[in-house]
Amino acid sequence: MVMDKIQGGYSILTYETLGIPTPFPVGNINCYLIKNEPITLIDCGVYTPKALESLTDQLRNFGLELGDVKQILITHAHPDHCGLASVVKKYSNAKVYLHEKEINKAMDRAEHLKRIELHLAYYGLPEDLRHEMHNYFKWQLDFVQPLKKFEVIEDGHIFTFDGAELQVILTPGHAIGHLCYFEKSDRLLFSGDLMLGSLLEPISIEPYRRERGLVDYIESLKKLSSLNISLILPGHGKPMSDIEAHLKRIANNHQQRKKQILDIIKGEGKITPFRIASRLWPKLNMFLGISEVLGYIDLLIMEGKVQEDQTESRLIVFHVKPFDTLNENIV
């Protein structure tokens, strides 16, 4: 746990970092306790007894109970970020805030995952791996309680605290309704999963329509780069202060990944997202791998280097543009 005070001009924001355990490979999630009134959590952890106990114990370390929490600011509606929101609300009647584009997954994650499974079939995931993914998604459902009551917030909304303010910034990419929270006076950013230390882009497949996740992600980074941020507090991992160096690493990684994927497509003719992902990351969860590939494909499509098609069986395939060989086998 880390305690800090952000002081600049008339602004003093006091926060604690609460490391809440998750059952996922990513490890702990960083939830943030804002101790200025009204007492606030930025994200709240996954729905497990262990996570609830950890959250309760850490609040008590600062003389607080679950019932003292007045509001929960959700960065996005993934289980590790909002799984406990309904439970905390039950104890405290706290208001829960999220973006409208996250409502479907917050209210009915089962339907959300069911639609993603269908997309994975179109992206070429074989039946045996779809079965594994179905079981993985079903397992995930145990770690989130559906939200029934919440408040919708939009880009630019200001949360006012005793002596401080937080600005809501819509930053799609990792999730279509992903939000960051910015303390203007001292340029502190609570970044959720938008900016992590890993160079594997945190992009997710959205089930209701094909979103350009990595394109949106890059636009969100550009939006944030104009804020002259001094410190990023991410949803996972350590705080980051050298923002420009991190953005440069991301840009370099994009160029390398695009070249890798374009070379694979050139060598294969027509190829599915799954086949590309399995070539690049054979041991990675294919939901993450396919999400990543689609992001880079979108960049290559924008650059006019790759074209997307759909077969009679509704498989999504990609090929180099222009594509003159008409009788390639679909991989």
CATH number of the domain that 308 lies in? 1.10.10.10
| CA 300 – CA 258 distance, rounded (Å) | 7
Give the pairing of strands 95-98 and 151-152. Answer: parallel
* Domain identity same for 234 and 257: no
In the DSSP assignment, the letter for residue 67 is G
Number of domains making up the chain: 2
- CA torsion sign for 125, 129, 131, 136 is negative
* Domain identity same for 43 and 77: yes
Looking at residue 328, its pLDDT comes to 47
* Domain identity same for 156 and 203: yes
Q: Is 57 helix (H, G, I), strand (E, B) or coil?
A: helix
Whether residue 225 contacts residue 245, with contact meaning beta carbons closer than 8 Å, is answered with no
Contacts of 328 (CB under 8 A, 6+ apart): 269, 270, 319
Domain boundary among 179, 208, 241: 241
* Domain identity same for 98 and 186: yes
Examine residue 61 and state whether it is found in any structural domain, yes or no. yes
* Domain identity same for 269 and 154: no
**Full residue range of the structural domain in which residue 290 is found:** 247-320
Domain boundary among 241, 256, 284: 241
Looking at residue 325, its pLDDT comes to 43
Looking at residue 9, its pLDDT comes to 39
Q: Kindly report the CA angle at 141 between 278 and 276, in degrees rounded to 5?
A: 10
Assign residue 170 the CATH number of its domain.
3.60.15.10
| CB atoms closer than 10 angstroms to residue 294 | 24
Contacts of 226 (CB under 8 A, 6+ apart): none
Per residue of the chain (331 residues), give pLDDT as tens: 344 554 433 458 999 999 999 999 889 999 999 999 999 999 999 999 999 999 999 999 999 999 999 999 999 999 999 999 999 999 999 999 999 999 988 888 888 888 888 889 999 999 999 999 889 888 988 898 888 899 999 999 999 999 899 999 999 999 999 999 999 988 999 999 998 876 556 677 776 667 788 999 999 999 998 898 999 999 999 999 888 888 888 888 899 999 999 999 999 889 999 999 999 999 888 888 999 999 999 999 999 999 999 888 889 999 997 644 444 444 5
Taking each continuous run of H as one helix and of E as one strand, the counts in the chain are 10, 14
* Domain identity same for 229 and 161: yes
Looking at residue 188, its pLDDT comes to 95
* Domain identity same for 10 and 49: yes
Examine residue 48 and state whether it is found in any structural domain, yes or no. yes
Looking at residue 10, its pLDDT comes to 41
What global pTM score does this model have? 0.89
Q: Which amino acid is at 112?
A: H
* Domain identity same for 162 and 310: no
Examine residue 37 and state whether it is found in any structural domain, yes or no. yes
Examine residue 30 and state whether it is found in any structural domain, yes or no. yes
Looking at residue 309, its pLDDT comes to 92
* Domain identity same for 151 and 201: yes
Domain boundary among 195, 220, 241: 241
| CA 290 – CA 284 distance, rounded (Å) | 10
- The distance from CA 260 to its chain's CA centroid, rounded to whole angstroms, is 24
Q: Is 173 helix (H, G, I), strand (E, B) or coil?
A: coil
Examine residue 215 and state whether it is found in any structural domain, yes or no. yes
Examine residue 22 and state whether it is found in any structural domain, yes or no. yes
Looking at residue 189, its pLDDT comes to 96
* Domain identity same for 237 and 263: no
Examine residue 173 and state whether it is found in any structural domain, yes or no. yes
Looking at residue 2, its pLDDT comes to 42
* Domain identity same for 156 and 305: no
| CB atoms closer than 10 angstroms to residue 100 | 11
* Domain identity same for 152 and 213: yes
Examine residue 118 and state whether it is found in any structural domain, yes or no. no
